[in-house]
Structures are given as C-alpha cells and as structure tokens.
A = this chain, B = another copy of it.
Amino acid sequence: MSEKRHLLTPGPTPVPPQVLAAIAQPVVHHRSPDFRPVYEETLARLREVFRTTGEVLLFGSAGTGAMESAVANLCSPGDRVLVVSAGQFGERWRGIASAYRADVETLEYGWGEIPAASDIAGRLQELGGAKAVFVTHSETSTGVVCDLQAIAAAAGEQGALSVIDAVSSLGAVPVESDGWSLDVVVSGSQKALMTPPGLAMVSVSERAWTTLGESPRFYFDWERTRKAQASLDAPFTPPVSLVAGLDVALGMLLDEGLNSVFDRHVRLGRACREGAKAMGLELFSPDDDRSAVVTAICAPDGIDATELVGALRDRFGITIANGHRALKGKIFRIGHIGYFDVFDVTTALAAVELVLTDLGAEIERGAAVSSALEAYEERARV
C-alpha cells in the first residue's frame, strides 16, 4: 500500500473521517434551505465552544485573516496598542498592527518564556494605557500556553481591550470568552476544531463593539458580518463545504463535552512530556499541565532537528514540526490537539526514539511509550 500518513503537527491537524465525508457532500447553495440550517447550527455550536452568548463571526480565511480583522475593526492609525510577543505568533500580531499603522508598543519575551499578567499590568501603567493588548494564548512556536484569565484581567483593569489569538488553543484548553471578559477571541478551523484550514472565527465583546476604529476594511468588516449572520445570510459566498465539515466537528467536540476534551488534552500533553523525559530528552516547552497543545522538545546534543523531522517523514510518513526561525534545527514539536488519542502520542514517541537512536543520539530506549501511557492514565487535575 502507499505509505500511511501520520499528521502530528500543531496544525493543520488530522481531520476525522466523518468530517471529511461531510466536506465531500455535493455543494449546496449558501442561500438555500440546504445550507441555512447547517450555518445556523455551526454558528450556535461556535458560541458554545467559545463559551459566549455573543455572536461569533465566521470568515472564509486562515486564522491570520481573523487576526487582521481584529486590528482592522478596532484600530485607527495612531492608536496605541500593546503587543505581547513571545514567539512566532506574537510577531504576527506586531506585523499586522504595524501594517495598520497603530502606535505599536511591544512587551517582548524570549521564545519559550511565559508572558505574565503582572508584566502586562506594569507595562500598561508605564505607557499610561493602550486601546488594546494583543496576546497569543497558545504560542505554537514554543509550546507555551499563558494564563489567559489573569492576563485579560490585567488588561481590563488598565482599561485596555484584550484581543486573544486562540487559534491553536480554542477547543483544546479552556477559553472562557464571557467568563474571563475576553474582548476579542480569534480562532481557526484547522487546529483543535478538527476541520481543514480555510475557516476562521472571532468573538467580540459588547465593550469591543462600542469602540470600533476607522481603518479601511470590507471582507473582514465585523458589522457587515454580524448583520448578515443575523439573517443567516453570509455576506459573501462562504466555503459551504468547510462549514458543513466544521458543523460535524463541533458536534463531535460538544458530544464529548468540552470539559472532557480539555481533560483529554491535559493528559495528552502530560503523556508526551513524560515520554520525552523518559527518553532522556530535555523539554523546551514548560513542563506544566497548561501546555497541552504542542510539546516542544530540544534536539539532543549533536543532533539536528531538521534531520530528525526529515527522517520521520521519509521513513515513516510521520509529520512533526521543526522549530521556527532561530529555533530551526534546535527543537522539534509534536502537536496533540484535536483528533488525537494517546496512541498518536506513543506513535510519535516511538518513531522519534527509533530515529534518534539511528542518528546516534544517546537516549534511553524502551521507556517512552510506557511512561506516556502511564501518564495518560492518571486523572487530570483540571
């Protein structure tokens, strides 16, 4: 048979067969009774997953498009904003806000560091406030998941809107849009939402709706989208096939129950970290239960992560992620968000163990898989 593939990256992620089957259905017209109920159900399910009673706006784009929508709808040129950056996706917030000529201040961390609410509060005080704070909830490039509740509270106390990139976290770890007073939460279809890339979504708080900016926008305009969704009539032809898939995927998430889903991700993260440590590898991402999205692991001395990633791909059809930018070759990343169970993690660990051994790394053999399985079995402490 042609080689089986194992997609073990933090996005795109594996899509369940029943979602693929929904996507392969004949195309229906977006204004017909064949689509409207699917659209309505998808929007309702998104509100459940975002844990908000407000509208979740759905766009046909990558997550970056929805991130841009936040800047384009909230900021006027010259508005002071604070970007919290601790990796690749924090840099993306900075790039977008700069493109829109906001007055961009940055709170910069080293890649791998964990942004702290107290730093953000301090920086906002120093600045005398900002219109918005842009935060990456789960920094996919490093494996760090920050304490979103505390950070949003710090922003709110300083009068700034909290704008959250939850692209790789929503549906994997808790994101309480209403409960934590998150003003804007951005996500995408291709991570924990178990759908191919091509859909992005944004929740917007009542407070954020009252303070829209003056930057030009059309396709990503929030008011146009909200108004259109209110009558179940997307503003532009939506990717109907992907929406049909997302509807099925969200149904699976909600059937499992969000709390069970979060628990599963905590245990997957724990399994991956314990397995890596049992091999004698050093973690790059924090060794805590919050980092349940992607596990970043340091390449052992003398081993180039690029070689490891290439060998896994070429020998076994396994795709894991290399490090970004300066971390390329230095770390490798195993994703475990969405349609994952513990055997996806053990597959990754077993293959890494084999390839590292063949590359001449000094690692402990035979311990990773059983350590991972054992860690997965322990009750999570969510």
Q: Which residue of B lies closest to A196 (CB)?
A: B241
Pick from A28-36, A49-57, A122-130, A286-294 the stretch touching chain B: A28-36
- The smallest C-beta distance from A128 to any residue of chain B, in angstroms, reads 25
The yes or no answer to A368 lying at the interface (CB within 8 A) is no
Tell me which residues across on chain B come within 8 A of A343, comparing CB atoms.
none
The yes or no answer to A366 lying at the interface (CB within 8 A) is no
The yes or no answer to A275 lying at the interface (CB within 8 A) is no
Q: Which residue of B lies closest to A99 (CB)?
A: B218
How far, in angstroms, from A12 to B60 measured CA to CA in the complex? 14
A62 touches B236 (CB 8 A): yes
- The smallest C-beta distance from A216 to any residue of chain B, in angstroms, reads 4
Tell me which residues across on chain B come within 8 A of A226, comparing CB atoms.
none
Tell me which residues across on chain B come within 8 A of A64, comparing CB atoms.
218-219, 236
The yes or no answer to A382 lying at the interface (CB within 8 A) is no
A29 touches B15 (CB 8 A): no
The yes or no answer to A242 lying at the interface (CB within 8 A) is yes
How far, in angstroms, from A95 to B72 measured CA to CA in the complex? 16
How far, in angstroms, from A11 to B30 measured CA to CA in the complex? 9
A26 touches B12 (CB 8 A): no
The residue that A7 contacts in the complex, of B27, B63, B216, with Cβ under 8 A, is B27
CB pairs A–B below 8 angstroms (9 shown): A7-B28, A20-B26, A60-B197, A62-B219, A62-B238, A65-B219, A65-B236, A196-B242, A219-B220
List the 6 closest A-B pairs by CB distance, nearest first.
Answer: A198-B239, A24-B24, A62-B236, A196-B241, A64-B236, A65-B219
